[in-house]
Amino acid sequence: MTWSLAVLIGTALLQPFDAEAAGRKPARKASARVEAKVAKTKAVRTVLARRSAPEVEAAPARLSFGHIYGLHGTSDPLDLKSSVALVMDQDTNEVLFSKNPQAVLPIASITKLMTALVVTEAQQPLDEVLTITEEDVDTEKNSSSRLAVGSRLTRDEMLHLALMASENRAANALGRHYPGGLEAFVAAMNRKARELGMNDTHYAEPTGLSSRNQSSARDLAALVKYAHGNQLLREYSTSPEHVVSLGSRQVAFHNTNGLVRGGSWDIGLQKTGYISEAGRCLVMQADLAGRKLIMVLLDSAGKYSRIGDAERLRKWLVQGAASGVKAMASNGD
C-alpha cells in the first residue's frame, strides 16, 4: 500500500459517522434544558482539557519506508519484527541468516558510524575544543539535545557522545569542523563508502536525521567489519556511559543500546538508530556461539523489537540451528 493510499484510508476511517448518509433517521432533538446542561458540561471539560493537554496536537504516525515497500510482509523462520536482517561470519563472510539484505532503506543514526570513521581517519586533533552552535540544532526532526548551544567539548568527547549516546548535535559539530566544512565532510563520507564497496549507500548529512541517508544490510555489514578495526570506535560505541563537564555541571550520558547496558552480550562494536522513516535499526559485531559475527537489523517495528530480534537470533545461533544453513528471504537472495 502506498503512503498516499494509506493516508486516504486513514482519513476516511477518521471521518465522523453520518447517520443520514448511512440511511438512518437522525435522533430527536433534546429539550432546551438538557441541551443547555450538555453545552455547559462540554465547556467545562474543554477548559480542563486545555489546562492539562499540550498545545500542539500529536502528529499522526508515519509509515517507515520498509512498510511502504511491503518488506514487512516477508516471512522468515524466526518471525523477526525487522523487515531487513543479516548475520555474517566476520572472518569468512559466510552469511548465516538473511532477510531482504539488498533492500536500500534509511539508516537513521547508523550514519554516525561512518561519521566517526571519517573523523578518526582524518586524524584531526582529538583534544581540540569544539563549540555547539545554532547550525547544529536539528531543524529537520526538531529532536532535543542535552548539548545546549554554546556547549564546549573536545573533539574526542563529541566523538564519544555521537557513537555511544547518538548525540545529533555532537555529530553535526564534528562534520562542521572538518576541513572544508559540512559539504566536504559529506563528500568524504560517500567517498569512503565507495572505497569499502558500499555501492547501495548514500549519505546526505552526518547525523542520520535525514531519510536521504540510505544503505543496505550488505553494505552496513561491510562497514561494521571495517570499523571494527578502529580501536576508538570499538571503545566508544560499547561504553555503557560517559560523564562530561558542561559548564559547571557534570552530565552523564548513557549508551542507546540496551544490550550493551545489560552486559550479557560480548559486543565489540555497535550502533543504534531511529527515525520514523527508518524504524528501529541496529548493527553490531559480537562474539556468539564461538564465532565472531556481524549482525544488521533494519526497520524494526516497535520500541524494543530490534533487541528482541537480536535475542531471537542469538538463541537460534547458540542452539546450533545456523550450522551450514542460510535462511533465505522470499525475495530470492
Report the catalytic residues: 109, 112, 166
Q: Give the helix ranges, DSSP H, for the chain.
A: 3-14, 32-52, 65-68, 111-121, 155-164, 168-176, 181-195, 217-227, 231-238, 258-262, 305-318
Task: Pull the grid cell for residue 55.
Answer: 498545545
Q: CA-to-CA distance for 81 and 44, rounded, in angstroms? A: 44
What is the maximal distance between C-alpha atoms in the chain?
A: 81
Helix 111-121 vs helix 231-238: crossing angle, to nearest 10 = 140
Host H or E run for residue 244: strand 241-246
Q: DSSP string spanning 167-196?
A: -HHHHHHHHHTSTTHHHHHHHHHHHHHHHT
CA-based torsion, 283, 288, 289, 294: positive or negative: positive
155: amino acid identity, one letter: R
Task: Pull the grid cell for residue 220.
Answer: 552496513
Report yes or no: 155 and 177 within 8 Å, Cβ to Cβ.
yes
Q: CA-to-CA distance for 253 and 157, rounded, in angstroms? A: 11
Give the three-class secondary structure for 154: strand
